[in-house]
C-alpha cells in the first residue's frame, strides 16, 4: 500500500514522501469471507470429516480445486464425480493429458490409464491379482477402452545345466506351460461391464539384452484364457490384437469364442502371421457375426484363405470395410474377392494393396464395378497392374459413379492414364458433394 505524507515548510512548499509496503499483494480486500474460511476448514479436514453432497455447485468446485491429491483412491473415487479434482490428478501424474480421447471425462482418463499401467507392469507369479481386482472395484463403471501396450512374462529363475537340458526336452510339448504365460484376462474382462474397446499387444517394451522371441508372442494358454475372457465381455465392440505373432491355430481358437459375440463390430488382427487356415476361420466368423470392420493388414493369407473370405463376403450383409493389404493373395485371391462383390451390397472400403495381384484381378474388378454401385474406396497400390490393368480400370471407372477414392500408386500404370483415372474419381467426389451439400459442409468444416 502506498501512503503519501505531506509536510509544509515556511515557504508554503509541500514535500511528498511515499512509503511502499514490502508485501506487494497486501490489501485490505484479502480478508477471506466467513464462507470461504468455512470451506477451507472443510478442505483441511476432508478425509476425517468429508462434507460434499450438501454443498452448492460453486462450493463443490472450491473443494475440488483445493483438496489434497494424496487422499486414498478408494475414498476419492466414491466422493468426487468427474471434475476438477480428477483433472488435477491426471495433470500431476502424466505430462500429456488429452481428455478428448476419453469422452471429455477426466475421471475416466485417470482410471483407464491407471488400470492400463497396472496391467502393463503385472508380472505373473510376483504381482498379486488382488492388485488388479482392488482397482477394478473402484473403476469398473468408468472403463470404456483399454489400450495395453505391453504384457510382461514371468521372471525366469536361473537354471542349472541339468535343468536347461530337461526344459529343452519338454519344450516341444504344446500342452505344457513354457513358463512365459502372461496376464490372465479372465479375472478382469467379465467385471468391466462398460468396456467397448480392447487393444492388446503381446510384447515387452524395453527388454534390452534379455531379448527372447517368446517375449513377443502369446502362448497357447494365453490364447485360450484370452478367448474365454472375450466371450464373457458382452459389451465389447472393438477388439484389436496386433504385433503378437498370432498364427493359424491361435486365430482359430479366438474366432471360435467370438462366433456368437453379441456386440463385436470391429476386429483387427493386423501385423500377425495368420495364414489360410486362420482366414477360413475368419470367413466363418463373417457368416455368423455382425462385423462391420475387418482389418487383416500384414499377414500371410494366400489365395485359398482369400477364397474362404470371399465366399463369406458374397453372403455378408454387415461388413463395410475390409483391409487385406500386405498379404499374399495373388490373382487367385484377388479375383475371388472381386467376384464376391457382385453379390455384396454393403462393403464400402476395399484394400488389396501389396498383394502381388496383376491385371487379371483388375479385369474382375472392372466387371464388378460395372454392376456394383456401393463401393466407395479401393486400394490397389504396390501391385503390378501394367498397361492392360490401367486400360481395364479406366474403362470401368468411365461407367462408375460411386468410387470416390482409388489408390493406384506404384502399379506400373502409365502416368497419363493415372491422371485420367484420378480425374474420374474427382468427378465422382464432386457429384457426391453436389448431391449431398450437408456432407460437403461437414468436410469443409473439418
pLDDT digits (tens, 9 = 90+) for 190-244: 999 999 999 999 999 988 888 888 888 899 999 999 999 999 999 999 999 999 9
pTM of the model: 0.86
Q: Is 252 domain-assigned?
A: yes
Lowest pLDDT segment from 124-138, 169-183, 359-373, 390-404: 169-183
Is residue 292 within 8 A of residue 265, CB to CB? The reply is: yes
Task: Assess whether 117 and 147 both reside in one domain.
Answer: yes
SS (H, E, C) 50-82: CCCCCCCHHHHHHHHHHCCCCCCHHHHHHHCCC
pLDDT of residue 156: 73
Q: Is 413 domain-assigned?
A: yes
Last residue of a domain, one of 215, 237, 259: 237
In our burial notation (b when 16+ CB lie closer than 10 A, e otherwise), range 368-404 reads bbeebeebbbbbbbbbebeeebbbbbbebbeebeebb
Joined together, the cell numbers standing for residue 288 give: 455368423
Task: Assess whether 372 and 416 both reside in one domain.
Answer: yes
The tally of CA atoms less than 13 A away on the side-chain side of residue 340 is 24
320 burial (CB, 10 Å; 0-12 / 13-18 / 19+) is: middle
Task: Assess whether 351 and 417 both reside in one domain.
Answer: yes
Contacts 24+ apart (CB under 8 A), 225-229: 225/184, 225/185, 225/186, 226/185, 226/200, 226/254, 227/253, 227/254, 227/256, 227/257, 227/258, 228/186, 228/257, 229/184, 229/185, 229/186, 229/188, 229/189, 229/190
Q: Is 148 domain-assigned?
A: yes
12 has pLDDT over 70: no
Residue 30 has a CB neighbour count (10 Å cut-off) of: 8
Look over the chain and give the mean of its residue pLDDT values, rounded to a whole number.
89
Model confidence band, residue 435 (pLDDT cutoffs 50, 70, 90): confident
Can you say how many angstroms the Cα of residue 396 is from the centroid of all Cα atoms in its chain?
Answer: 36
Strand partners, 24: none
Q: Is 160 domain-assigned?
A: no
Task: Assess whether 112 and 200 both reside in one domain.
Answer: yes
Model confidence band, residue 19 (pLDDT cutoffs 50, 70, 90): low
- The number of folded domains in the chain is 2
Task: Assess whether 380 and 401 both reside in one domain.
Answer: yes
Q: Is 60 domain-assigned?
A: no
Model confidence band, residue 29 (pLDDT cutoffs 50, 70, 90): low
Last residue of a domain, one of 216, 237, 258: 237
Task: Assess whether 222 and 340 both reside in one domain.
Answer: no
Q: Is 13 domain-assigned?
A: no
Of 219, 106, 139, 226, nearest to 171 by C-alpha is 219
Task: Assess whether 212 and 300 both reside in one domain.
Answer: no
Lowest pLDDT segment from 30-44, 339-353, 409-423: 30-44
Task: Assess whether 208 and 270 both reside in one domain.
Answer: no
Domain that includes residue 361, residue range: 246-438
Q: Is 82 domain-assigned?
A: no
Joined together, the cell numbers standing for residue 209 give: 539384452
Mean pLDDT on 433-440: 69
Task: Assess whether 207 and 268 both reside in one domain.
Answer: no
Q: What CATH number does the domain containing 308 carry? A: 3.80.10.10
Last residue of a domain, one of 219, 237, 255: 237
1 has pLDDT over 50: no
Task: Assess whether 259 and 397 both reside in one domain.
Answer: yes
Is residue 397 within 8 A of residue 419, CB to CB? The reply is: no
pLDDT of residue 433: 87
Q: Is 398 domain-assigned?
A: yes
Task: Assess whether 121 and 218 both reside in one domain.
Answer: yes
Amino acid at each position: 500500500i502506498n501512503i503519501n505524507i505531506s509536510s509544509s515548510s515556511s515557504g508554503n512548499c509541500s514535500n511528498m514522501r511515499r512509503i511502499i509496503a514490502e508485501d506487494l499483494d497486501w490489501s485490505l480486500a484479502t480478508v477471506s469471507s466467513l464462507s470461504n474460511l468455512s470451506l477451507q476448514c472443510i478442505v483441511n479436514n476432508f478425509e476425517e470429516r468429508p462434507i460434499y453432497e450438501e454443498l452448492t455447485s460453486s462450493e463443490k468446485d472450491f473443494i475440488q480445486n483445493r483438496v489434497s491429491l494424496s487422499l486414498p483412491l478408494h475414498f476419492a473415487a466414491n466422493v468426487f464425480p468427474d471434475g476438477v479434482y480428477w483433472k488435477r490428478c491426471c495433470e500431476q501424474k502424466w505430462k500429456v493429458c488429452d481428455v478428448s480421447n476419453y469422452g471429455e471425462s477426466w475421471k475416466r482418463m485417470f482410471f483407464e490409464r491407471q488400470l492400463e499401467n497396472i496391467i502393463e507392469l503385472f508380472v505373473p507369479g510376483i504381482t498379486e491379482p488382488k492388485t488388479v481386482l482392488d482397482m477394478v472395484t473402484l473403476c469398473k463403471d468408468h472403463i470404456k477402452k483399454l489400450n495395453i501396450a505391453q504384457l510382461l512374462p514371468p521372471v525366469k529363475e536361473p537354471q542349472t545345466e541339468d535343468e536347461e537340458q530337461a526344459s529343452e526336452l519338454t519344450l516341444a510339448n504344446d500342452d505344457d506351460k513354457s513358463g512365459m504365460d502372461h496376464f490372465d484376462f479372465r479375472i478382469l474382462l467379465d467385471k468391466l461391464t462398460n468396456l467397448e474397446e480392447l487393444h492388446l499387444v503381446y510384447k515387452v517394451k524395453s527388454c534390452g539384452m534379455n531379448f527372447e522371441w517368446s517375449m513377443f508372442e502369446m502362448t497357447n494358454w494365453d490364447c485360450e484364457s484370452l478367448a474365454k475372457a472375450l466371450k464373457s465381455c458382452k459389451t465389447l465392440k472393438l477388439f484389436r490384437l496386433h504385433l503378437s505373432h498370432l498364427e493359424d491355430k491361435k486365430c482359430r481358437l479366438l474366432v471360435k469364442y467370438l462366433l456368437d459375440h453379441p456386440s463385436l463390430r470391429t476386429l483387427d488382427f493386423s501385423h500377425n502371421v495368420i495364414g489360410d487356415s486362420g482366414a477360413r476361420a475368419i470367413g466363418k466368423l463373417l457368416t455368423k457375426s455382425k462385423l462391420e470392420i475387418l482389418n487383416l493388414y500384414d499377414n500371410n493369407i494366400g489365395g485359398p484363405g482369400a477364397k474362404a473370405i470371399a465366399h463369406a463376403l458374397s453372403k455378408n450383409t454387415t461388413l463395410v470395410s475390409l483391409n487385406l493389404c500386405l498379404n499374399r493373395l495373388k490373382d487367385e485371391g484377388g479375383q475371388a474377392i472381386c467376384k464376391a462383390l457382385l453379390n455384396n451390397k454393403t462393403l464400402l472400403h476395399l484394400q488389396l494393396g501389396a498383394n502381388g495381384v496383376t491385371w487379371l484381378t483388375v479385369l474382375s474388378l472392372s466387371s464388378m464395378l460395372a454392376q456394383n454401385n456401393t463401393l466407395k474406396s479401393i486400394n490397389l497400390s504396390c501391385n503390378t497392374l501394367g498397361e492392360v490393368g490401367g486400360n481395364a480400370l479406366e474403362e470401368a471407372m468411365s461407367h462408375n459413379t460411386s468410387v470416390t477414392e482409388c489408390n493406384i500408386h506404384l502399379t506400373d500404370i502409365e502416368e497419363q492414364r493415372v491422371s485420367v483415372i484420378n480425374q474420374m474419381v474427382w468427378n465422382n467426389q464432386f457429384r457426391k458433394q453436389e448431391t449431398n451439400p450437408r456432407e460437403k459442409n461437414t468436410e469443409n468444416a473439418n
